[in-house]
Amino acid sequence: MSLVDVEGLSVRYGARTVLSNVSLRIERGEIVTIVGPNGSGKTSMLRAIIGAVKPYRGRVTQGRDVTIGYVPQKLHIDETLPITVSRFLKLPSGATALDIEHALAQAGVPDLVNAQLSQLSGGQFQRVLLARALIKKPDLLLLDEATQGLDQRGSASFYQQIESVRQETGCAVLMISHELHVVMSASDRVICLNGHVCCEGTPAVVASAPEYRALFGTGTGGALALYRHEHDHGHDHTHGHTHDHGDHTHDCSEGSD
Amino acid sequence: MLDDFMVRAALAGAGVAIAAAPLGCFVVWRRMAYFGDATAHAAILGVAMSLAFSMSIFIGSMTVALMMALTVSVLSGRGYAMDTLLGVLAHSALAFGLVAVSFITGVRIDLMAYLFGDILAVTQGDLAVIWAGAAIVVALIGWRWSALLTATLNEDLAYASGIDPKREQLVLTFALAITVAVAIKVVGVLLIAAMLIIPAAAGRPLSRTPEGMAVAAGTIGIFSVIAGLRAAYEFDTPAGPSIVCVAALTFLLTSVFRNVRA
């Protein structure tokens, strides 16, 4: 059984449809990236998976005993709220000191246990959020633009961390990103979203798809080529999902609203 | 001991300070200061209704405060900015309350007692109501503490942990209504928000964790009550405002402490 099974999902905010008839599945251990222009419903997709928005149509099914760790897009900590990293990692249901130490080490920030959350740098904060998501030993990690506000080196090293976490724990990863070239290189599968699934497949397949090119141009092809040889093999199981996206390819470059 | 009006006053104030401490922290963290103010202002309408229908002031003001808070929760995000909505509802409720009070004949009402509180006139029965209310508020917030804290940090984080932020908001709203109702006698509707916010804000520079801030707020609140009552006795000043003045001075002190340390 898949970790998460999204079937025919439509999401509306008032009269505005942000997602229509989207289906996707996440299998154990794979890294899937959702790319798409602003307003394409990427965040709504993740919010539907964690239950923060109710589907207008369709459904989201979680596999049995599947634990999801969620790393939000941004988190503003009010200056008036004093909270240490270790207290934050204990929310809401508690964690042992050992769990906290381990999760922070996995996220690459072992020394921050007693730091105040409001005094962390952007990169440290994202890693603490990652640690919090890891503390429940998730089967699936959801990341929403986790490297927003980090410089290129910071985000590259963040994604390396994700990759090493995946190798260490075997958890699947579903992430959203703007930084196509960085993210796509690390992904097993890429889903190009624009209110609906435009195209999906391995990074190489998506990058050369006309629907993707229509949205993003060809600029990211070069960066992708660097990684192509190491990612072109071994992940054949991810090709197995057939989605009928043929119907949608023509309105890909138009917004859904 | 309870025969002494100063002791009763101190106990009443301490009860309010204890309920206001954890709640006030959330009011500060979630930037709900104006929300607390609005709920309190609405309570005067509850006072008028209690007098008109001769029911307990506690029940009347709590009901109206709760209705007010729920109305705001429901209406927010439907076209008006939150502060506009609160401004309209709070001051309308206050004005309607004041007008309604003037219609009630046959009962001599000391309106000032409800606007500014009359902590020195607290009876043993009032004390029981205040402490029962405080116990409910502390138990409620204590029970929901982690969920409330998660929802305060980020709504999506809460959803991802299986917490419904809207339900937690409702818990806070309910706790706020109770606190307003029990605090009317002590500081009056105009100064309730001060008891919520000032001790919490004064506790901020002294704390490293949310729990620490709630304890600091409670301690500062109780200290303000005792010192304020003492000052009121000494200088023959109104008791409720004197308590708030002490809290404000404490805020000043801890803020300076933070800036010196930083």
Q: What is the pLDDT of residues A12-33, one digit of tens each?
A: 988 888 999 999 999 998 999 8
Give the ipTM: 0.83
CA separation for the pair A208, B260 (Å, rounded): 60
A 76-135 → B contacts, CB under 8 A: 77-78, 80-84, 87-88, 91-94, 116
B33 to chain A, closest Cα gap in Å: 13
Per-residue pLDDT, averaged over A113-142, amounts to: 90
Contact A171, A139 (CB under 8 A): yes
Q: Is it the case that residue B4 has pLDDT exceeding 70?
A: yes
Residue B222 tokens, joined:
């109780």
* Angle of the B192-203 helix axis to the B210-235 helix axis, nearest 10: 120
How many whole angstroms from its chain centre is CA B31?
A: 14
pTM, entire model: 0.84
- Helix (H, G, I), strand (E, B), or coil: what is residue A116? strand
- Give the residue from chain B lying closest to A44, CA to CA: B156
CA distance to A78, A248, B142, B196, B257, per residue, from B214 (Å): 16, 54, 11, 11, 18
Q: Name residue A1's amino acid.
A: M
A68 neighbourhood in chain B, CB within 8 Å? 160
The residue ranges of DSSP E strands in B48-196, in sequence order, are: none
Contact B156, B37 (CB under 8 A): no
Q: Which of B62-66, B78-82, B182-186, B222-226 has the lowest mean pLDDT?
A: B78-82
B251 to chain A, closest Cα gap in Å: 13
Per-residue pLDDT, averaged over B146-170, amounts to: 91
Mark yes or no for CB contact A91/B146 under 8 Å. Answer: yes
Intra-chain end-to-end CA distance of chain A, in Å:
33
Torsion, Cα A115 A116 A118 A122, to 10 degrees, reads 10
Chain B interface, best mutation among A80, A119, A132, by max B CB count within 10 A? A80
Mark yes or no for CB contact B156/A77 under 8 Å. Answer: no
CA separation for the pair A46, A48 (Å, rounded): 5
A50 touches chain B (CB under 8 A): yes
Mark yes or no for CB contact B159/A52 under 8 Å. Answer: yes
Give chain B's domains with CATH numbers: 4-191 (1.10.3470.10)
Per-residue confidence band for B117, with pLDDT thresholds at 50, 70 and 90: confident
Match 């904060």 to its residue by tokens: A125
Instruction: Note the pLDDT of residue A231.
Output: 39
CA separation for the pair B152, B149 (Å, rounded): 5
Per-residue confidence band for A10, with pLDDT thresholds at 50, 70 and 90: very high
A83 neighbourhood in chain B, CB within 8 Å? 153, 209-210
Residue A187 tokens, joined:
């992904």
- Percent of the residues in chain A that have a pLDDT greater than 70, as a whole number: 81
A92 neighbourhood in chain B, CB within 8 Å? 146-147, 149-150, 158, 161, 163
- Give the residue from chain A lying closest to B200, CA to CA: A80
- CA angle B223/B226/B227 to nearest 5° reads 80
B159 to chain A, closest Cα gap in Å: 5
B116 to chain A, closest Cα gap in Å: 28
Nearest to B217 by CA among B238, B194, B242, B240: B194
Per-residue pLDDT, averaged over A213-229, amounts to: 54
CA separation for the pair B156, B162 (Å, rounded): 10
Mark yes or no for CB contact A92/B149 under 8 Å. Answer: yes
Of residues B28, B161, B212, nearest to A80 (C-beta): B28
Mark yes or no for CB contact A83/B209 under 8 Å. Answer: yes
B146 to chain A, closest Cα gap in Å: 5
A68 touches chain B (CB under 8 A): yes
Q: Is A217 exposed, middle or buried (0-12, 13-18, 19+ CB in 10 A)?
A: exposed
Per-residue confidence band for A254, with pLDDT thresholds at 50, 70 and 90: very low
CA separation for the pair A238, B111 (Å, rounded): 73
Contact A19, A45 (CB under 8 A): yes
Residue-averaged pLDDT of chain A: 79
Q: Is B7 exposed, middle or buried (0-12, 13-18, 19+ CB in 10 A)?
A: middle
Contact A55, A95 (CB under 8 A): no
Radius of gyration of chain B (CA): 18
Mark yes or no for CB contact B150/A50 under 8 Å. Answer: no
Instruction: Note the pLDDT of residue A234.
Output: 39
Mark yes or no for CB contact A91/B153 under 8 Å. Answer: yes
Task: Specify the length of chain A in residues.
Answer: 257
Helix intervals (H) in B154-209:
155-160, 165-187, 192-203
- Helix (H, G, I), strand (E, B), or coil: what is residue A191? strand
Of residues B152, B156, B161, nearest to A47 (C-beta): B156
Q: Is it the case that residue B262 has pLDDT exceeding 70?
A: no
Longest dimension (CA), chain B: 59
Mark yes or no for CB contact B156/A52 under 8 Å. Answer: yes
Asked, as a colleague might, if the bond just before B210 is cis with ω within 30 of 0, I would say: no
* Highest mean pLDDT of the ranges A113-127, B43-57, B86-100, B215-229: B215-229
CA separation for the pair B154, B148 (Å, rounded): 10
CA separation for the pair B143, B171 (Å, rounded): 10
Mark yes or no for CB contact B160/A70 under 8 Å. Answer: yes
Helix intervals (H) in A51-96:
85-89
Predicted confidence (pLDDT) per residue in B42-75, tens digit: 888 888 888 888 888 888 888 988 888 888 877 7
The residue ranges of DSSP E strands in chain A, in sequence order, are: 4-13, 16-26, 31-35, 57-62, 68-71, 140-144, 172-176, 189-193, 197-201
Residue A24 tokens, joined:
């996707």
Per-residue confidence band for A243, with pLDDT thresholds at 50, 70 and 90: very low
- Helix (H, G, I), strand (E, B), or coil: what is residue A149? coil
B72 touches chain A (CB under 8 A): no
CA separation for the pair A223, B177 (Å, rounded): 59
B 197-226 → A contacts, CB under 8 A: 201, 204, 207-210, 212-213
